[in-house]
Structure 1
Amino acid sequence: MADWNKTRNFFSQQLDRWWRDCCVAGGFLTRLPFPAPKDGAGKGALAGSSRAFPVIGAAVGAIAGLSLMVVAGLDLHPLACAFVALAVSALVTGALHEDGLADVADGFGGGETKAKKLKIMKDSRLGAFGMLAVVFSVGIRAGILGGLPSPGMAALALIAAAVLSRGLLPAVMAVMDPARKSGLAFQAGTPDQESWVTALVLGGLLGFLFLGPGGGLMALAMAIIAVAALAWLAERQVGGFTGDVLGAQQQAAEIAVLAAAAAAL
């Protein structure tokens, strides 16, 4: 009986920890009404909850995928269905990642020095580079989704892309330094090895589940390449990562996963 109680308490504690991590991660990554943790979410809380990023990605992808299936049932053109799904995804996340992509494009494209680039990235105004980056991101993703053989496959690809693209972000936070000594990236903290490895493995496994072994492996490899390329660019441009850089990496990884899905499905 004592052993059973210990086992039950252990799993209860683990479930509580996972739920807290999902609430912290979901409260930041989405506009969904996740309850705030009772003990608050101060400095380092986001890094501590980062293992739940793929879980939140699965929720975002599932909502977007469901919306795609619903509008597909109305016999809309596949491209229109794809745009609706991406619009729903942006609504769920508050266009958090698209905003980061736009800021990175404006900063990297318009600034001459590190300080100038970071200043532009903090500016809430949208420039030409940022607008084009978002247009290209949405257009490429919609084009890929609209070209998949069926709405069901498009929905699975959406979920896989949402999961894998977010599952890679904790590793970036762990291996790169923040570009600023203030701001989101600095306040988020550094994920420990357990957190970023869990996020990476969980993201990979869910990707394999939705895309199959071959498609999942291709998607993971292409997403890693996309994220690593932007990490290299960010290191050269601003000397580290910011919240905007993470958003741009998520967008690049999502495009990479969808491209892999189109090749595999």
Structure 2
Amino acid sequence: MTTIQDYINDTARSVAFLSRLPLPQRYFTGYDGRLSRAVRAFPLAGVIVTLPAAVLAALLSAAGAPPLLIAFAALTLVTLTTGALHEDGLADCADGIGGGRDRDSALAIMKDSRTGSYGVVCLVLVFGLRAAAIAALVPALTPSGLGMTLLAVGAASRAAMAWHWSRLPPARREGVAASVGEPDGGAVLFALASGILAAILLTLPHVPLAALVLALVLVIGVVLPFNRVVIGKIGGHTGDTIGATQQLAEAATLFALALAA
């Protein structure tokens, strides 16, 4: 039987997996490193990981800082918090899928720590899109509304990670994603439900319901084709594709909210 303490432990382990935030060792005593059940806490972990950047964005907005400065400051802080894990996955995916001739060459490129032209261009475009969308939201939202919206995006995009992870088989049996286990079906459903609910509760007082519906449609419209591309190119998920999913889902959500704001 799952207890509140179990969920707290799963949240701490998810935060450790998704960021560089230091956490007490007690959450990892006797822990085997598997995330099969812990993925249910990905949306809450996303809120925790995004919280420093959301607070900074709200404070800068309240102080009247320029929208683009707010956007880049918030993205800089959240990137430092995550250690650019998701951005690294996005760049590796772009290089592997864009430059790989076949499955083996694509996986070899994705494993290479160097970043190629596909990765650089993809990072610039996605980072720029996220910054532009946040900048567009600044004048449309109150400072607190801006902070809450960023938290909602953090929760929703981490739920999308769990969804992508569960829909595809592992591309490598020895990869990082495979080593932490396959997501439990019930845990994924909980992640999706809690991620969507968190997004609604955090943003509904500040953005129109139509904007949330558009964001959901756009995330589905981005993640599903990405899943098909990944399956066709490398045959399954990797840690890089899971991280890339977060970036694509975040960009899609911010784009939709900015468009409808």
Match of 1:81 among 70, 83, 98: 70
CA drift at 1:137: 1.1
Q: Distance in 2 between matches of 1:192 and 1:220?
A: 23
Map of 1:48-197 to 2, 5 A cutoff? 48-148=37-137, 149-150=140-141, 151-197=143-189
Q: Distance in 1 between matches of 2:3 and 2:203?
A: 29
TM-score, normalised to structure 2's length?
0.91
Q: Distance in 2 between matches of 1:253 and 1:101?
A: 11
Q: Distance in 1 between matches of 2:185 and 2:131?
A: 35
Match of 1:34 among 4, 9, 23: 23
Q: Distance in 2 between matches of 1:24 and 1:60?
A: 12
Question: For the Cα contact (< 8 Å) 1:107–1:118, is it kept in 2?
Answer: yes
Give the secondary-structure state (helix, strand or coil) at the position aligned to 1:198.
helix
User: Structure 2: which 5+ runs fail to align?
Assistant: none
Q: Which amino acid aligns with 2:173?
A: K
Q: Distance in 2 between matches of 1:172 and 1:252?
A: 11
Q: Distance in 1 between matches of 2:147 and 2:257?
A: 11
Question: For the Cα contact (< 8 Å) 1:164–1:223, is it kept in 2?
Answer: no
Q: Distance in 2 between matches of 1:169 and 1:41?
A: 21
Question: For the Cα contact (< 8 Å) 2:15–2:49, is it kept in 1?
Answer: no
Q: Distance in 1 between matches of 2:232 and 2:85?
A: 24
Where does residue 236 of structure 2 map in the other structure? 240
User: Structure 1: which 5+ runs fail to align?
Assistant: 1-9
Give me the CA root mean square deviation: 1.6
Where does residue 227 of structure 2 map in the other structure? 231
CA drift at 1:206: 0.8
Q: Distance in 2 between matches of 1:38 and 1:221?
A: 41
CA drift at 1:77: 1.2
Give the secondary-structure state (helix, strand or coil) at the position aligned to 2:32.
coil
Q: Which is worse superposed, 135-144 or 148-157?
A: 148-157
CA drift at 1:142: 0.6
Q: Which amino acid aligns with 1:181?
A: R
Question: For the Cα contact (< 8 Å) 1:106–1:129, is it kept in 2?
Answer: yes
Q: Distance in 2 between matches of 1:35 and 1:244?
A: 27
CA drift at 1:163: 0.7
Give the secondary-structure state (helix, strand or coil) at the position aligned to 1:168.
helix
Where does residue 5 of structure 1 map in the other structure? none
Question: For the Cα contact (< 8 Å) 2:15–2:48, is it kept in 1?
Answer: no
Q: Distance in 2 between matches of 1:197 and 1:84?
A: 33
Question: For the Cα contact (< 8 Å) 2:91–2:115, is it kept in 1?
Answer: yes
Where does residue 4 of structure 1 map in the other structure? none
Q: Distance in 2 between matches of 1:34 and 1:220?
A: 32
Q: Which amino acid aligns with 1:169?
A: M
Q: Which is worse superposed, 91-100 or 61-70?
A: 61-70
Q: Distance in 1 between matches of 2:36 and 2:126?
A: 27
CA drift at 1:74: 4.1
CA drift at 1:88: 0.5
Task: Provide, for residues 39-77 of structure 1, a one-character-per-residue CA deviation record: whole Å limited to 9, x for no partner.
Answer: 1233xx122200000001111222211111223344321
Question: For the Cα contact (< 8 Å) 1:165–1:251, is it kept in 2?
Answer: yes
